[in-house]
Amino acid sequence: MLQIYSRRAKMKNLFGAPLHFLLLLASQTCEAVRIKSTPGASLEGFIQAKPDDTVSLICEITDTNLQEEELNWQRNGAAVSLTDTNKNTPSAVCITPVIPEDDEATFTCSLRKNSTASASVTLKVSYPPQLSGSENITIEEEEDLVLECVMKANPLVTAVLWTLNGSTVDLIGGGFTVTNDGQISRLQINNVDQSMHDGIYQCTAVSPMFPNSSKIFNVKVTERTMKFPLVPLIAGLVVVLVTSILAVVSRWRKIAKCCKK
Ligand SMILES: *[C@@H]1O[C@H](CO)[C@@H](O)[C@H](O)[C@H]1NC(C)=O
Ligand SMILES: *[C@@H]1O[C@H](CO)[C@@H](O)[C@H](O)[C@H]1NC(C)=O
Ligand SMILES: *[C@@H]1O[C@H](CO)[C@@H](O)[C@H](O)[C@H]1NC(C)=O
Ligand SMILES: *[C@@H]1O[C@H](CO)[C@@H](O)[C@H](O)[C@H]1NC(C)=O
C-alpha cells in the first residue's frame, strides 16, 4: 500500500510536473516542517481521495538551520520505513492505490530528533455504493426468493428503497422482508406467488454525497413443475413389497398348517 519514492523518482515528480500541477499543491505549515500533497489538502489538513487514486505526500523542512536533519514518517502512529535516500528533506511517501481502508489514515512527518516539530495530513476516502445494471431471475412458485444489493459506501447510504413495478414494496401485505447488515440489503420472499411477486424489482441507495444508484432484478415467477418425488416413491415401494412378502409368509403358514392336518 505504501510505496516510498526513490530520490530519483521523487526529483522527477517534483520538477518534471507541469507548473499548473505544482500550483495545486497545498501546504501544511508548522514551525519547522510542512507536508505538500497531491491532491492538495484542505486548510484543516484533509485530503479527499477515491479508491484507486494515487496520493503523494512530500515533507519539507522549512527551517533553514535544520536542513540536514533526518525525517520520520508515520501512518496512524506506526513508523513508515524509508529508504536511506528518502530520509532527508524533501522526503516523499506515495499511497498507491488508495483503498477504502485508508479512510481517516493520518500521515505525520516529523524531525527524527524532535518529534514535536511535525506536520500531518489525513486521508478522506469516499466512494458511492456500486449499484448498477440488471439481473434476470426465474423462479418457480412456492420457492423462496432473496435479492441482494451491496450498499458499501463512504459516507454510508442514508436510505435503501425497494420497489416492485415502480411502487414501494408492501412490507405488511406483500410477504416481503427487508434486512440490512450495513453492507448488504436483502429483500426476501418466502413462498413466492406469481400474482403477487412477478415483476421488476429495483433497489435504490440514497447517498448524502453521491447521486442515487440502483440495480434492477427482472423476476419471472413460473408455474411449479411436478418434481418426481423419488425418495418417498422408493420408500413406498419397499413398504408394499415387505407387506406382500409378509402376507405370503403368513398365508404360507396357514397353508402349511392345513397340510399337517
Ligand atoms: C522541537 O521542535 C519544536 C517545534 O518546532 C520547538 O518549539 C522546540 O524548541 C524543539 N525542541 C528542541 C529540543 O529542539
Ligand atoms: C434479460 O432478459 C432480456 C429479455 O427478456 C434480455 O434482453 C437481457 O439481455 C437479459 N439480461 C441478462 C443480464 O441476461
Ligand atoms: C408487474 O408488471 C408485470 C409486467 O407488466 C406484470 O406481469 C406483473 O404482474 C406485475 N406485478 C405485480 C405484482 O403487479
Ligand atoms: C434519491 O432518491 C430519493 C428517494 O426516492 C429522492 O427523494 C431523491 O430526490 C433522489 N435523489 C436524487 C439525486 O435523485
Residue nearest to atom 6 of ligand 2 (CA): 136
Q: Does the Cβ of 211 fall within 6 Å of ligand 4?
A: yes
The whole-number pLDDT of residue 25 equals 44
Which ligand sits closest to the CA of 205? 4
Residues 56/92, Cβ–Cβ less than 8 Å: yes
Residue that is written with C-alpha cell 505549515 in the block: 29
CATH 2.60.40.10 holds for 17-125: yes
Residue nearest to atom 4 of ligand 3 (CA): 199
List the domain boundaries for the chain. 17-125, 134-222
Residues 35/59, Cβ–Cβ less than 8 Å: yes
Helix (H) or strand (E) holding 10: helix 7-16
Burial (Cβ within 10 Å: 0-12, 13-18, ≥19) of residue 59:
buried
Helix (H) or strand (E) holding 238: helix 230-260
| Whole-Å CA distances, 43 to 18, 83, 122 | 23, 30, 11
Residue nearest to atom 13 of ligand 1 (CA): 114
| 3-class SS of residue 167 | strand
Q: Does the Cβ of 30 fall within 6 Å of ligand 4?
A: no
The whole-number pLDDT of residue 259 equals 57
Strands (E), 71-113: 71-75, 78-80, 91-95, 106-111
In whole angstroms, give the CA distance from residue 38 to residue 27: 10
Task: Give the Å distance between the CA of 199 and the centre of ligand 2.
Answer: 14
Strand duo 167-168 + 159-164: pairing: antiparallel
Q: Does the Cβ of 166 fall within 6 Å of ligand 4?
A: no
Side-chain-side CA neighbours of 194 within 13 Å: the count stands at 8
Whole-structure pTM value: 0.66
Residues 59/119, Cβ–Cβ less than 8 Å: yes
| Residue 219: closest CA among 131, 132, 130, 134 | 134
Residue nearest to atom 10 of ligand 4 (CA): 212
pLDDT in tens, 84-139: 889 999 999 999 999 999 999 999 999 999 999 999 999 999 999 999 999 999 99
Q: Does the Cβ of 212 fall within 6 Å of ligand 4?
A: yes
pLDDT in tens, the chain (261 residues): 343 333 333 333 444 444 333 334 444 444 688 999 988 888 889 999 999 999 999 999 999 899 999 999 999 999 999 998 899 999 999 999 999 999 999 999 999 999 999 999 999 999 999 999 999 999 999 999 999 999 999 999 999 999 999 999 988 888 899 999 889 999 999 999 999 999 999 999 999 999 999 999 999 999 988 766 666 666 666 666 666 666 666 666 665 665 555
pLDDT in tens, 240-255: 666 666 666 666 666 5
For residue 256, give the DSSP letter. H
The whole-number pLDDT of residue 255 equals 55
Which ligand sits closest to the CA of 198? 3
For domain 134-222, give the CATH number: 2.60.40.10
Q: How far apart are the first and last CA of the chain?
A: 98
Would 17-125 and 134-222 be classified into the same CATH topology?
yes
Task: Give the Å distance between the CA of 136 and the centre of ligand 2.
Answer: 6
The whole-number pLDDT of residue 189 equals 94
